[in-house]
Amino acid sequence: MATRSLSHAELVLLALLEEGPAHAYELVQRIRSMEVERWARVAESTVYAVLRRMEERSLVDGERRPGERSKTKTTYRRTGRGDAHLRDLVRRGLRSPEPIYSDRLVAAVFGAAFGRGPEIDAALEELDERRDALDDALDNPAISEYGRIIIRFYARIADAHAEALAALGERSTAEGRERPSAVALAEPPPDG
C-alpha cells in the first residue's frame, strides 16, 4: 500500500496554529520570518490554498469576518481532527526513510554510467548555491534555535551529497572514454 507523501505545508501550518487562531497573512509572515522555505517544502504562495484544502477536510475551522476595504478576513483555528492529523504527520515524519535515500545520488550513480558528467557538475554547482543559502539563513537572527538545528542538519546533508557527487563524477571520468556500466559504478572502487 502506497503512503501519501508527508505534507510539510500542512504540518507547519497546523503546528503554527498551536499558538492560537491566526489569519493566513499572519501565518505567511511567521513562515517568512522563520525562513521555512529554506528547510521545509512550504512555499509562501501555497499557504492560502493549503488552508482552504485543510478547511474542506475539517482540519481547520475558518471564521470569516468583514475586513478592511470590503475584503473578507478569515481567522483559522485548528480543530480536533486537525490535532489528530498533526500528530499523524509528526509520527510519519519521524519514521520517514527520506534522509536515508537520495534521488540526487541514485540519479548520479546511474547518470554517470551514461556519460552525464556535465549534469553532475551542474548538480554540484546548484548544491553549492543551496549550501551558501543555508549559511546565509543561519545569519538571520529571527530563526529559532529549532530552525538553526534543522538548517545545520540540511547543511551537513548538502555537504555529504556534494562529497558523493564529486566522487561519482571523478569515478565516471576515471573510467576513461568508454562508458562504465551502472553496475560497475555502483560497486566499490578497486583497492589501489
SS (H, E, C) the chain: CCCCCCCHHHHHHHHHHHHCCEEHHHHHHHHHHCCHHHCCCCCHHHHHHHHHHHHHCCCEEEEEEECHHHCEEEEEEECHHHHHHHHHHHHHHHCCCHHHCCHHHHHHHHHHCCCCHHHHHHHHHHHHHHHHHHHHHHCCCCCCHHHHHHHHHHHHHHHHHHHHHHHHHHHHHHCCCCCCCHHHHHCCCCCC
Give yes or no: residues 89 and 106 share one domain.
no
Supply the pLDDT for residue 161: 85
Prediction pTM value? 0.65
The answer as to whether 109 is a domain residue is: yes
The answer as to whether 167 is a domain residue is: yes
Give yes or no: residues 50 and 116 share one domain.
no
| Residue closest to 130 by CA, chosen among 154, 108, 153, 150 | 154
Cβ pair 9, 41 in contact under 8 A? yes
The residues, any chain, with a CB within 8 Å of residue 63's CB and separated by 6 or more, are 21, 74, 75, 76, 77
What percentage of the chain carries pLDDT values higher than 70?
75
Supply the pLDDT for residue 120: 78
Give yes or no: residues 132 and 52 share one domain.
no
Written as nine digits, the cell of 48 is 492560502
Can you give the CATH number for the domain in which 46 is found?
1.10.10.10
Q: What is the mean pLDDT of residues 12-20?
A: 92
Give yes or no: residues 116 and 179 share one domain.
yes
Give yes or no: residues 15 and 38 share one domain.
yes
The answer as to whether 1 is a domain residue is: no
The answer as to whether 23 is a domain residue is: yes
Q: Bigger pLDDT: 136 or 168?
A: 136
Q: How many domains does the chain have?
A: 2
Domain edge (last residue) among 63, 94, 125: 94
Give yes or no: residues 132 and 62 share one domain.
no
CA distance 117 to 119: 5
Domain that holds residue 118: 98-186
Cβ pair 165, 127 in contact under 8 A? yes
The mean pLDDT of the chain is 80
Across 81-92, b (16+ Cβ under 10 Å) vs e yields: ebeebbeebeee
Supply the pLDDT for residue 185: 46
Give yes or no: residues 61 and 103 share one domain.
no
Domain edge (last residue) among 38, 60, 94: 94
Domain edge (last residue) among 59, 79, 94: 94
Tens digit of pLDDT for each residue in 86-124? 998 888 887 776 666 667 776 776 666 556 667 778 888
CA distance 63 to 72: 10
Supply the pLDDT for residue 95: 76
CA distance 156 to 166: 15
